[in-house]
Amino acid sequence: MFITPAVAQSFLGGEGGGGLGAFLPIILIFAVFYFLLIRPQQKKVKQHRQMLGQVKRGDRVLTGGGIIGTVTRVKENDELVVEVADGVKVNVIRGTLSDVLTRSEAPSSGGNASANGPTVVGPNDEKPAGLLGGLFGGFAPKK
């Protein structure tokens, strides 16, 4: 009437080995997390760091606190002077900027600014290529 452990194990489907088969679900979960969460976040941080490095005088910026202003001076120690209203200037640390709303054009060789005005930079400039391109950070080529 008693069942031996070997017979009970065969009824329950236990193989007893383990090995790589036991770690396979954990490895697959980590791979999914890497491609869907970690990698896109790293790309976003890299783009934000590049954007902060390219901030220059005349750019219209959005701070982390929601204040919109124009950069009037870039100091050497990652500090910016941002004019938020006529005659009202605020010192801002470069890392606290959330976005660059418009970029000022580089002056041409004649010293005059471009006749087209500032270039608008926004999140809709580059659209992800399809569903998987949006998930994995791929972008469609510019036309």
100 has which bridge partners?
A: 61
Burial of 80 (0-12, 13-18, 19+ CB in 10 A): buried
Q: Does the pLDDT at position 38 exceed 90?
A: yes
Q: Which amino acid is at 48?
A: H
Average pLDDT over residues 12-35: 80
Percentage with pLDDT > 70 across the chain:
63
Fold of 56-108: SH3 type barrels. (2.30.30)
Q: What is the pLDDT of residue 106?
A: 61
Residue with tokens 């193989």: 15
- For 125-137, the pLDDT digits (tens) are 555 556 566 666 6
Q: Does the pLDDT at position 24 exceed 70?
A: yes
Q: What is the pLDDT of residue 2?
A: 74
Going by pLDDT thresholds of 50, 70 and 90, the confidence category of residue 41 is: very high
Going by pLDDT thresholds of 50, 70 and 90, the confidence category of residue 80 is: very high
Q: What is the pLDDT of residue 14?
A: 53
Measure the CA–CA gap between 138 and 47, rounded to whole angstroms: 14
Measure the CA–CA gap between 113 and 123, rounded to whole angstroms: 25
**Residue 25 φ then ψ, to 5°:** -60, -35
**25 vs 11, residue with greater confidence:** 25
